[in-house]
A and B are shown apart, each in its own frame.
Chain A
Amino acid sequence: MSTPFYVSPQQAMADRAEYARKGIARGRSVVVLTYADGIVFVAENTSRALHKVSEIYDRIAFAAVGRYNEFENLRIGGVRYADLRGYSYDRADVNARGLANVYAQTLGTIFSSTGEKPYEVELIVAEVGKGPDDDQIYRLTPDGSVVDEHGSVAVGGSADSISNYLGKQHHDGMSLGEAVRLAVQGLARDPNGGQDRTLTQDQLEVAVLDRTRPQQRKFKRLLGTQLGRLLETAPATETVGGAGTGATADDEDIPVAPPEEPGTTSSDPE
């Protein structure tokens, strides 16, 4: 006769968290940064059709890492929630805070229900405001925690090291080009301190919530030549130290990781 196992609640929760964390760590990261005119989302994603970054509503977008079917399910739920709410009340009554709360409740309930396996996803819900001070970024973890982020955030495999890097490099009022290039530098870094990878345009999914867009819907994907231009090394007017120490050796067509400023890189050994 077998003795039923006893697992303490602490242990059960820790196991579930570990399970979810491992699932997420297998995937590539997504980076979200504020810039002067809004919020930019950069994901490493070779697929043109299966998105990691999507529009939810007028001023709200969604980015996710982890299991595709799980976050896609949450994305559709979010679109339905936002559209239904906007239809029942008014478009102005749909906001990121409400959506983040609904996602937190949903993820939290799934995480602590014994009947379901926890979702292996990490989400970002961001809303662009009228001015930079009104921008909101929420990060959601599989256990349903919500973190209110400022400036920059990364989720996914090597999120910690990327977040750390972005936190040091990011500043308010960056241009879109600066923000995209910084995001790509972040994604290209090797968390173990090795040689940075080179990410080309085809490996990136980039979208913005641009508050200056005249349309009601502020979400826009950046594709093709427009993205190519943004990724090109900054022109001389922008401050990029040309003869930096960490110049990438093998940038062929599109140098997505421009030479970094000597002062800033040396102080960041990660």
Chain B
Amino acid sequence: MEADTRGTGRLPAAFLTPGSSSFVEFLAAHQPELLPGNRHRGLPQSGVVEAPHGTTIVSAVFPGGVILAGDRRATMGNLISKRDMEKVFPADEYSAVGIAGTAGLAVEMVRLFQLELEHYEKIEGAQLSLEGKANRLTTMIRSNLGMAMQGLAVVPVFAGYDIDEGRGRMFSYDVTGGRYEEKDFTATGSGSTFARSSLKKLYRRDLTEEQTATAVVQALYDAADDDSATGGPDVTRKIFPVIAVITDEGYRRMDEDEVSSIARRVLEERLESPDGPRASIT
């Protein structure tokens, strides 16, 4: 079966058989062993696997779009296994996915998800709706439930620009594939509690793109402040959070200069007030 993709023989009948527009369904019928969920069949059902974990992802909407950001730390137990990990990926031209959880499985899931959206678009000649994309991700998380029950969970945040409705939207997930649309902001991963609390105090619905990005960096700073698995901006190594902005012009990753100037400003302010900006209590 493997030879089908390597050799230059005739396309196998399965390739020319009319079917669904889903790459995952095609794979399930034609080469099921390539699906992430099936690769782990037959593995022992108990025992602890130590694998790198991605930590905190934050997302917030602003008028005209949505921001998705992630810190750069991956941890394995109490060790930092990676300082410059990427956890925010474009899913297609108008959406992005940020991942927390077991890094290896999550990255693979993103790869398959990107392909699933692109495959659909090419076969059908049209993009899936944003809801449709969010639902495809649900299915893929659910197929990982077996692994999640062994401690290898993947918990993404999906954010995108809804062309039909003309606004940014975001969805958070749980390990069972539960999908929840979030209104203003959300966070996932080990530092999410702190990040969400921080954003709760800073977020307003009328923030501009840059202000929202700043609020998100503040939230990641607060997550790193209290959660050892989340990494703060690393000025010495010049490693800053990944910030993706999705608007009607599509996906854009903020370039390093932009993020670094926001992060440096936040750090500068924290030198004066270590706990960050205060919310008014009057």
- In the complex, the answer to whether A79 meets B119 with C-beta atoms within 8 Å is yes
Q: Are A84 and B31 in contact (CB under 8 A)?
A: yes
Least CB distance, A221 to chain B, in whole angstroms:
9
| Contact-size category for A | 20 to 34
User: In the complex the two chains form, is B16's CB within 8 Å of A83's CB?
Assistant: no
How many angstroms from the CA of A120 to the CA of B30 in the assembled complex? 27
Does A98 lie within 8 Å of B8, measured CB to CB? yes
Cβ contact of B5, chosen from A74, A88, A217, cutoff 8 A = A88
Report the separation of the CA atoms of residues A152 and B115 in the bound assembly, to the nearest whole angstrom: 32
The answer to the question of B42 belonging to the interface, with a C-beta cut-off of 8 Å to chain A, is no
In the assembled complex, which residues on chain B have CB atoms less than 8 Å from the CB atom of A77? 11, 15-16
Complexed CA–CA distance, A74 and B10 (Å): 11
Interface centre among A49, A51, A78, A84 (most CB of B within 10 A): A84
* Contacting pair A54 B15 (CB below 8 A): no
List residues of B (105-163) whose CB comes within 8 Å of A's CBs: 111-112, 115, 118-119, 122-123, 125
Residues of chain A with a CB closer than 8 A to B15's CB: 76-77, 80-81
Q: How far is the CB of B249 from chain A (nearest CB, A)?
A: 12
B123 pairs with A76, CB closer than 8 A:
yes
| B93 is an interface residue with CB less than 8 A from chain A | yes
The contact size tier of chain B is 20 to 34
CB <8 Å contact, A54 and B122: yes
| A266 located at the interface, meaning its Cβ lies under 8 Å from any Cβ of chain B in the complex | no
A contact residues around B34 at 8 Å (CB):
84, 87-88
How far, in angstroms, from A217 to B92 measured CA to CA in the complex?
A: 10
Q: Are B93 and A87 in contact (CB under 8 A)?
A: no
Chain A: CB-nearest residue to B119? A83
B254 CB, nearest partner CB in chain A, Å: 15
- Shortest CB distance A58–B (Å): 9
B122: chain A residues at CB < 8 Å are 54-56, 79, 83
Contact A102 to B115, CB < 8 A, known contacts A54-B122, A88-B5: no
A73 in contact with B31 (CB, 8 Å): no
Residues 1 to 27 of chain B near chain A (Cβ within 8 Å)? 2, 4-5, 8-11, 15-16, 18, 23, 26-27
CB distance from B91 to the nearest CB of A (A): 13
**A3 CB within 8 Å of chain B:** no
Q: Does A215 contact B (CB under 8 A)?
A: yes
Q: Which residues of chain A have C-beta atoms less than 8 A from B9's C-beta?
A: 102, 105
Option from B11, B18, B125 in Cβ contact (under 8 Å) with A81: B11
List which A65-120 residues lie within 8 A (CB) of chain B: 73-74, 76-81, 83-89, 98, 101-103, 105-106, 109
Say yes or no: A85-B11 contact (C-beta < 8 A), given A76-B123, A79-B122, A79-B123: no
Given the known A-B contacts A49-B125, A76-B123, A83-B115, are A102 and B8 also in contact in the complex, defined by CB atoms under 8 Å?
Answer: yes
Complex: A59 Cα to B111 Cα, angstroms: 18
Residues on the A chain within 8 Å of B18, using CB: 73, 76
Distance in angstroms between the alpha carbons of A102 and B26 in the assembled complex: 18
Q: How far is the CA of A124 from the CA of B11 in the complex (A)?
A: 17
CB < 8 Å: which of B8, B10, B26 contacts A80? B26
Decide: A83 and B10 in contact? CB cutoff 8 A: no
Q: Which residues of B contact A51 (CB under 8 A)?
A: 125
Report the Cα distance A196→B31, complex, angstroms.
51
For A76, list chain B residues within 8 Å (CB).
15-16, 18, 123
Top-7 shortest CB links A-B: A101-B8, A77-B15, A105-B10, A77-B11, A106-B10, A106-B11, A77-B16
Residues of B within 8 A of A (CB): 2, 4-5, 8-11, 15-16, 18, 23, 26-27, 30-31, 34, 93, 111-112, 115, 118-119, 122-123, 125
Taking A98-B8, A102-B9, A102-B10 as known contacts, 4 extra A-B pairs with beta carbons closer than 8 A to each other, sorted by chain A number, are A73-B16, A83-B119, A84-B27, A87-B34
Q: Which residues of A pack against B, CB within 8 Å?
A: 49, 51, 54-56, 73-74, 76-81, 83-89, 98, 101-103, 105-106, 109, 215, 217
Could you list 25 A-B pairs, sorted by A, with CB under 8 Å?
A54-B122, A54-B125, A55-B122, A74-B11, A76-B15, A76-B18, A77-B11, A77-B16, A78-B11, A81-B11, A83-B118, A84-B4, A84-B27, A87-B23, A87-B27, A87-B34, A87-B115, A88-B2, A89-B5, A102-B11, A105-B8, A105-B9, A106-B11, A215-B93, A217-B118
